[in-house]
């Protein structure tokens, strides 16, 4: 299996574990949920030069620009990187929501973070993820606009426009909206001979 796939699988496993640790609900079904936004950006660069003493790696991006990064002490196995290797970085970000009936979730803010890095002897690589979950209470519903007004855990009240008015049919004042913001970064190095 290619190192990039391993890092991606690790990223999704980490995100799944983080999300599972945030969830306190035993609700069998979540009838109203969705993804507000989701994006993923991947960039690759080729190793041009390595200075192991300074821990500097010079890379050439897909656009032809050359730049140097400093690989801190947390980067394991830097000596495994060779000129010609491909470095791939993937950044993922999403905002999703789920609506729960009263008693099926708790109002509040929860966070989870995690990271993993290559084992000794492997090519450098790693993944880091942060998940923030905010659960707020629906205090009013305006089907004409369409929007819902939420009372956040800090007591502030905010109106949120609803993209799909049909989803308002399945929610009620007092329901809880769980908003999950996820961001993750995965970096891998693939041997030049594997291309």
In sequence order, the β-bridge partners of residue 126 are: 117, 187
Q: Express each pLDDT in 114-155 by its tens digit.
A: 988 888 888 888 899 999 999 999 999 999 999 999 999 999
Peptide bond into 146 cis (omega under 30): yes
In sequence order, the β-bridge partners of residue 100 are: 176
Q: Express each pLDDT in 27-83 by its tens digit.
A: 455 468 888 899 999 999 999 999 999 999 999 999 999 999 999 888 888 999 999
CA-based diameter of the chain, in Å? 65
Determine the Cα–Cα distance for residues 195 and 193; give it in Å rounded to an integer: 6
**3-state SS, residue 31:** coil
One DSSP character per residue, 97-139 reads EEEE-TTSS-SEEEEEEEEEEPPTTSPPEEEEEEEEEEEEEEE
For position 29, what pLDDT does the model report?
54
**3-state SS, residue 149:** strand
Give the CA-trace dihedral at 110, 89, 79, 122, to 10 degrees.
Answer: 70
For position 122, what pLDDT does the model report?
87
pTM of structure: 0.74
- Structural domain spans, the chain: 3-194
């Amino acid at each position: 299996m290619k190192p990039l796939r391993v890092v991606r699988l690790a990223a999704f496993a980490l995100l799944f574990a983080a999300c599972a640790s945030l969830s306190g609900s035993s609700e069998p079904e979540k009838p109203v949920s969705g993804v507000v936004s989701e994006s993923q950006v991947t960039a690759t660069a080729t190793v041009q030069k390595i200075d192991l003493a300074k821990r500097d790696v010079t890379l050439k991006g897909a656009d032809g620009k050359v730049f140097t990064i400093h690989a801190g002490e947390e980067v394991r196995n830097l000596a495994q990187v060779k000129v010609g290797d491909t470095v791939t970085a993937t950044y993922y970000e999403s905002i999703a929501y789920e609506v729960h009936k009263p008693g099926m979730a708790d109002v509040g803010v929860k966070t989870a973070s995690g990271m993993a890095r290559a084992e000794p002897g492997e090519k450098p690589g790693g993944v880091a993820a942060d998940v923030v979950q905010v659960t707020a209470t629906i205090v009013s519903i305006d089907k004409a606009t369409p929007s819902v007004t939420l009372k956040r855990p800090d007591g502030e009240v905010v109106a949120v426009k609803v993209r799909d008015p049909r989803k308002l049919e399945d929610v009620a004042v007092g329901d809880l909206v769980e908003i999950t913001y996820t961001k993750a970064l995965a970096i891998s190095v693939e041997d030049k001979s594997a291309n």
